[in-house]
Amino acid sequence: MTMFASLMRRRAAGLIATWCVALLCAQTAWAQSDGFIARMFDKPVPGGTASVIVGKGQAAPEVSYGGHRVMVLDDGGQWVAVVGIALTTAPGPATIDVRDAKGVRKVSFNVGEKTYEAQHITLANKRQVNPNPQDLARFKKELAEQTAAYAIYTPGVPSNVIMDHPVPGRLSSPFGLRRFFNGEERNPHSGLDFAAPAGTPVKAPAAGKVILIGDYFFNGRTVFVDHGQGMISMFCHLSAIDVKLGQTVARGETIARVGATGRATGPHLHWNMSLNNVRVDPAIFIGAFQP
């Protein structure tokens, strides 16, 4: 074999190898994108999310669950409803209502079981365990404001549903813990806690609009961000707030600073995620969900 022929043969072999790698990469990328949303959000337990395929076509169907609109996303050519499941939901069959050009129909999914651990916390301020009448009146007003914010639904696809961590640091308290304050049981932990020093910037995990700002009895300084289609983030126990009501924020933009305001034993960030007006585990959106 001449030197030229040998060179051409090696070059051809190299091109074939390159084409094979490119083809494999293309196939892998397609495999990861096809049905990715359905797989990512298939955590159908109390406090989790259910991925329910609700059809194909150009127009997204309208989906509701428990009287609230559900987020619907395009997932590789099929429409998938990402349904938030309340912590109080009993395991067993559940249904969503799907409305499209053909009419209204019910689609079923199944809610599995999940056991959450208990957490015991000692608070020096006993009013944060058993509020006095003035505290309760304040809390009732504040709760109404926050409940209204969680119920907001705006159209449009969220900028991203795989969320960024709002702060660096370890996860200190998981979602769903049964909480005992000074030995008395209260509402379960409705969010995810990040251990972070006071003053650490809190960044928007996805783009959105600031829909509520407050300084509350239990939550301390608080910011609500609407990401679209009923996906709402709430950040609380903040030391400072860097945004204004009605402001549009970009993904990664600083919105506040970590603190220990409200019912908190030390500086940390508490992050709530809400879908269709129920609180769900934020760990699902950052790939840290524990079944």
**pLDDT class for 187, splitting at 50, 70, 90?**
low
Total of domains in the chain: 2
- Domain boundary pick from 111, 132, 157: 111
Domain, as residue range, for 88: 38-111
- Domain boundary pick from 83, 111, 139: 111
Q: Do 180 and 260 reside in the same domain of the chain?
A: yes
pLDDT at position 114 is: 92
Report strand pairing: 118-121 vs 178-181: parallel
Q: Do 105 and 124 reside in the same domain of the chain?
A: no
pLDDT at 236 over 70: yes
Secondary structure E strands in the chain = 49-55, 62-65, 68-69, 71-75, 78-84, 92-100, 103-111, 118-121, 171-173, 178-181, 184-186, 192-195, 201-203, 208-216, 220-228, 231-241, 248-249, 254-258, 268-275, 278-280
Please report whether residue 74 resides in a domain: yes
Q: Do 155 and 90 reside in the same domain of the chain?
A: no
Q: What is the pTM of this model?
A: 0.82
Please report whether residue 22 resides in a domain: no
Per residue in 66-121, pLDDT tens? 999 999 999 989 999 999 999 999 999 999 999 998 899 999 999 999 988 766 56
pLDDT at position 135 is: 77
Per residue in 133-153, pLDDT tens? 787 888 899 999 999 999 999
Q: Do 132 and 240 reside in the same domain of the chain?
A: yes
- What's the mean pLDDT in 227-251? 98
AA letter at 157: V
Which of 86-95, 129-138, 234-243, 279-288 shows the lowest mean pLDDT across its residues? 129-138
Q: Do 129 and 162 reside in the same domain of the chain?
A: yes
